[in-house]
């Protein structure tokens, strides 16, 4: 039988709801901070042994039902010809991409050639997970085209995304040219991760939620769909039928469009009632989410009530429990344990 997490992605019957957590390999874990103290963030991403070590920490210590590759959505940028650094306050891009010449200069890299250390990490992690029994699958990931565009154009994070909006609305043909290059990079990168052993892939559209609905369709959804279609058209994917997860942070305004992405599972951020999302989207797609990461600051007994509410709203079939966004670094790992225990206990079903 396939691992629990993969069956939930495919909306197959499950004996209980699987649980993992965005950024589960990260700063809230003392064992992660111990590794991070000795290495830069990029070193950790680029050293398969280190990436494997921190990817497995939350699996071994806390018992999640899926592992996610330790990496960063911006890891593809140096291979595209872009300098990026990762200070604590968030990534910084040396020369933002704001005109056609800068877009033309971008490279669509061959992932095995240029990002081989990522695929090596995938292989090592997958091997370690198999040696632990193979019940915990590995999720690979990439940044979705629109979100990657915002980083390239803004030069990092942003408060008002003014540069992004200036390109989308003032030079839409440049925006689409940039999105196309990113989409090709993204699809090839995900395909290479699947070939190396990733058993599911997640496309992160962390900033698509800044757009008005018609612009979400034109600049975010359209290109995420292109990536999903390219991946599904690949021989690698057809051999494996790897579940594809699409996550738009701030999805509430776009629900009717969101469901058309072609993904097997849609990520739901914490701001919206997941029961409302289920009612609106119907039964043909799995949902992942959506407890507020901040709710892990609650006392354990109240975390349990939050878990219960999410499970009840999301329903039994086609649900993966997750936070609605990445876990906050200030989170107490004991509270994460309480969350996992609550999901396991409260979602156990007689029928399976």
Q: State in angstroms the smallest separation of the CB of 295 from a copy of itself.
A: 6
Nearer to a copy of itself, 13 or 169 (CB): 169
Residue 72 lies near a copy of itself (rule: CB under 8 A): no
DSSP state string for 292-322 = -GGGGGS-HHHHHHHHHHHHHHH-SSSEEEE
Asked if 262 and 229 count as a contact pair (C-beta separation under 8 A), the reply is yes
Q: State in angstroms the smallest separation of the CB of 203 from a copy of itself.
A: 20
Catalytic residue status for 27: yes
DSSP 253: G
| Nearest-angstrom CA–CA distance, 323 and 26 | 14
Token digits for 314?
């999301």
What percentage of the chain's residues is helix, strand, coil (to nearest 5)?
A: 55, 10, 35
Residue 119 lies near a copy of itself (rule: CB under 8 A): no
Integer-rounded Cα Rg, in Å, for the chain is: 19
Nearer to a copy of itself, 39 or 165 (CB): 165
* Segment 320 to 349, residues that bind a copy of itself, using CB under 8 A: 324, 328-330
Q: State in angstroms the smallest separation of the CB of 309 from a copy of itself.
A: 8
Pick the catalytic residue: 11, 28, 98, 151?
Answer: 151
Residue 271 lies near a copy of itself (rule: CB under 8 A): yes
Catalytic residue status for 36: yes
| Nearest-angstrom CA–CA distance, 224 and 229 | 9
Of the candidates 73, 153, 211, 314, which one interacts with a copy of itself according to CB under 8 A? 211
What Å distances lie between residue 195 and 191, 234, 238, CA to CA? Answer: 6, 10, 11
Pick the catalytic residue: 23, 46, 126, 304?
Answer: 23
Residue 41 lies near a copy of itself (rule: CB under 8 A): no
Of the candidates 81, 96, 116, 294, which one interacts with a copy of itself according to CB under 8 A? 294
Nearer to a copy of itself, 109 or 293 (CB): 293
Q: State in angstroms the smallest separation of the CB of 277 from a copy of itself.
A: 10
Residue 114 lies near a copy of itself (rule: CB under 8 A): no
Q: State in angstroms the smallest separation of the CB of 54 from a copy of itself.
A: 20
* Segment 236 to 265, residues that bind a copy of itself, using CB under 8 A: 250, 252-253
Backbone region of residue 317 per phi and psi (left: phi > 0; alpha: psi in -120 to 50; beta: other values): beta
Residue 279 lies near a copy of itself (rule: CB under 8 A): no
123 alpha-carbon distance from chain centroid: 19
Strand order in the sheet with 67-68: 67-68, 138-143, 200-205, 244-248, 265-267, 286-291, 319-323
DSSP 291: E
Q: State in angstroms the smallest separation of the CB of 157 from a copy of itself.
A: 7
Q: Using CB under 8 A as the criterion, which residues of the chain lie in contact with a copy of itself when the complex forms?
A: 90, 157, 159-162, 164-166, 168-170, 209-213, 215, 250, 252-253, 270-273, 292-298, 302, 324, 328-330
Q: Hey, which residues are catalytic here?
A: 23, 27, 36, 72, 151
């Amino acid at each position: 039988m396939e691992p629990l997490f993969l069956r939930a992605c495919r909306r197959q019957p499950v004996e209980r709801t699987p649980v993992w957590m965005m950024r589960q390999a990260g700063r809230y874990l003392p064992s992660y901070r111990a590794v991070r103290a000795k290495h830069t963030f990029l070193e950790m991403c680029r050293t398969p042994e280190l990436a494997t070590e921190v990817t497995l920490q939350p699996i071994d210590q806390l018992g999640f039902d899926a592992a996610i590759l330790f990496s960063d959505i911006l890891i593809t940028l140096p291979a595209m010809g872009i300098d990026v650094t990762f200070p604590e306050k968030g990534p910084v891009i040396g020369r933002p991409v704001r005109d056609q010449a800068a877009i033309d200069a971008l490279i669509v890299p061959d992932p095995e050639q240029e990002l081989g250390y990522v695929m090596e990490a995938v292989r090592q992690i997958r091997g370690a997970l198999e040696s632990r029994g193979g019940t915990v699958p590995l999720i690979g990931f990439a940044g979705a085209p629109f979100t990657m565009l915002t980083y390239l154009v803004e030069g990092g994070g942003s408060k008002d995304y003014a540069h992004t909006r200036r390109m989308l609305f003032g030079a839409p043909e440049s925006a689409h040219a940039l999105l196309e290059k990113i989409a090709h990079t993204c699809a090839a990168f995900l395909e290479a991760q699947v070939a190396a052993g990733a058993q599911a892939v997640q496309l992160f559209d962390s900033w698509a939620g800044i757009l008005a609905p018609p612009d979400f369709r034109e600049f975010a959804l359209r290109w995420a769909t292109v990536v999903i279609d390219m991946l599904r058209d690949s021989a690698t994917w057809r051999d494996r039928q790897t579940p594809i997860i699409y996550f738009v942070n701030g999805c509430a305004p776009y629900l009717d469009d969101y469901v058309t992405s072609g993904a097997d599972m849609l990520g739901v951020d914490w701001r919206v009632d997941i029961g409302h999302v289920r009612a609106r989207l119907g039964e043909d797609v799995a949902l992942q989410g959506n407890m507020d990461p901040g709710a892990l600051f609650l006392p354990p007994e109240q975390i349990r009530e939050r878990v219960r509410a999410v499970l009840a709203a999301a329903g039994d079939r086609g649900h993966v429990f997750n936070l609605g966004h990445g876990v906050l670094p200030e989170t107490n790992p004991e509270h994460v344990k309480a969350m996992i225990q609550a999901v396991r206990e409260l979602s156990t079903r007689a029928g399976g």
